[in-house]
Chain A
Amino acid sequence: MTRRLWIIPCALLAVAGCSKKADSGTDTAATPGTTTTAEALSVSGVDLGRTIDANSRVTDKTDDFKPSDTIYASVATTGTSPNATLSAKWTYQDGQVVDTTSRAIAPAGAAATEFHISKPSGFPKGNYKVEIMLNGASVQSKDFKVE
């Protein structure tokens, strides 16, 4: 009986010793200065529509347009940058470039940038594509139709 009572404190000491080792391992891994860096700017989504709100976000998502529509592409970004260039390159089904617009931005968090095109005489019917570029590199594209 006496032997059994001695076994319990010894076992507890052994467990405590193990967990202390594990703790010190975790402390070593948490190197200061490696956890808080500003998130790099990236494009998180592109929406197409006919209207936008005051926050440059599309209010009626669609990829089917009429020739007389103004076509909006709202580009959602996350992250920060002191100076970045977002571009929208609109192309027709035959590869013709319809328009290219660029905008310099300096976001400090989530932001939305809209690009839009319109054509007073009406867009030719067919398939189109808008390609979004961040600092010259293509990051996303969306296909849409004019019917």
Chain B
Amino acid sequence: MGLLDKLMGNNEPAKKADFSDVQSGSSSTAPAPAQTSSMGASAGGTYTVVSGDSLSKIAKHHYGDANKWHAIYEANRDKIKNPDLIHPGQVLTLPDIS
């Protein structure tokens, strides 16, 4: 292999792909496991906005309560200027609500 590289004039090591800026997330129709706290809310992690989303819809999906939208808004004030306007692809932090 080394000899082949020399013959081919290829002495540079293979450049690895850079995945350091990969963003990820998840959502589920299944509820989260029961928490030890008395409230039903949970979440935590991140969520990537998709077309048709609203903060209240995301809150309903992740916390079971659409009124928790303001908690998502507060946790993402740096990304959301107007709570009525979120964009597909935005990665929102879902705060732990206990």
Q: Which of A64-110 contact B (CB under 8 A)?
A: 70, 77, 82-84, 86, 88, 90, 92, 94, 96-99, 101, 103-108
Q: A51-B51, A70-B48, A119-B22 are in contact. Are A105 and B17 (CB under 8 A)?
A: no
Minimum distance in angstroms from A110 CB to a CB of chain B: 9
Of B19, B51, B89, which is within 8 A of A96 by CB? B19
Task: Indicate if the CB atoms of B21 and A105 lie closer than 8 Å.
Answer: no
Interface footprint category on B: 20 to 34
Which residues of the other chain, A, contact B17 by a CB distance below 8 angstroms?
Answer: 92, 94, 96, 124, 126
Task: Report the separation of the CA atoms of residues A118 and B21 in the bound assembly, to the nearest whole angstrom.
Answer: 9
Which residues of the other chain, B, contact A140 by a CB distance below 8 angstroms?
Answer: none
Interface string of A29-56 (1 = CB under 8 A from B): 0000000000000000000000110111
Chain A: residues with Cβ within 8 Å of the partner, total of 39
Interface-lining segment among B2-10, B25-33, B66-74: B25-33
Q: Which of B14-51 contact A (CB under 8 A)?
A: 16-17, 19, 21-34, 45, 48, 50-51
Task: Indicate if the CB atoms of A105 and B32 lie closer than 8 Å.
Answer: yes
Which residues of the other chain, A, contact B45 by a CB distance below 8 angstroms?
Answer: 103
Q: Does A120 contact B (CB under 8 A)?
A: yes
Q: For chains A and B in complex, what number of residue pairs have CB atoms within 8 angstroms?
A: 94
Q: A105-B33, A107-B30 are in contact. List 20 more A-B contacts (CB 8 A).
A: A56-B27, A56-B29, A70-B89, A92-B17, A96-B19, A101-B26, A103-B28, A103-B45, A104-B33, A105-B28, A105-B32, A111-B28, A112-B29, A113-B28, A113-B29, A116-B24, A117-B22, A118-B24, A119-B22, A120-B23
Could you tell me which A residues sit within 8 Å of B by CB distance? 51-52, 54-56, 70, 77, 82-84, 86, 88, 90, 92, 94, 96-99, 101, 103-108, 111-121, 124, 126
